[in-house]
Amino acid sequence: CHQARLAIEIDGSQHYTDYGRSYDQWRTKHIEKKGIAVLRFSNSDIRHRFDGVRIMIDLIVKKRVEELKENQS
């Protein structure tokens, strides 16, 4: 979400290997250096708790947009 400076990742099983976790940490660190927050969900979250994921994304986007507006003032 460009406006909220938010990246949303959906992690499958490859993200839970040692290499996957290490690569995700590295990539997240570089994304965050650019002022972009990273929000992660598992495939299972999407399959079994989609409404909760959708609500959480909506709340976080709104909060980040408001924070970014306040920081520009």
What CA–CA distance (Å, rounded) separates 29 from 31? Answer: 6
Given a cut of 90, is residue 6 above it in pLDDT? yes
- Are the beta carbons of 33 and 5 closer than 8 angstroms? no
What is the pTM for the complete model shown? 0.80
Asked if residue 16 belongs to a domain, the reply is yes
CA 52 to chain CA mean position, Å: 14
Asked if residue 62 belongs to a domain, the reply is yes
The total domain count for the chain is: 1
pLDDT of residue 15: 59
Residue 12 lies in domain: 6-72
Asked if residue 1 belongs to a domain, the reply is no
What are the C-alpha distances in Å from 63 to residues 32, 47, 57?
17, 25, 10
What CA–CA distance (Å, rounded) separates 16 from 44? Answer: 13
pLDDT of residue 59: 97
pLDDT of residue 48: 96
Can you name the residues that pair with 9 across neighbouring β-strands? 40
pLDDT of residue 17: 76
Task: For residue range 7-32, list pLDDT tens digits in order.
Answer: 999 977 665 677 778 888 999 999 99
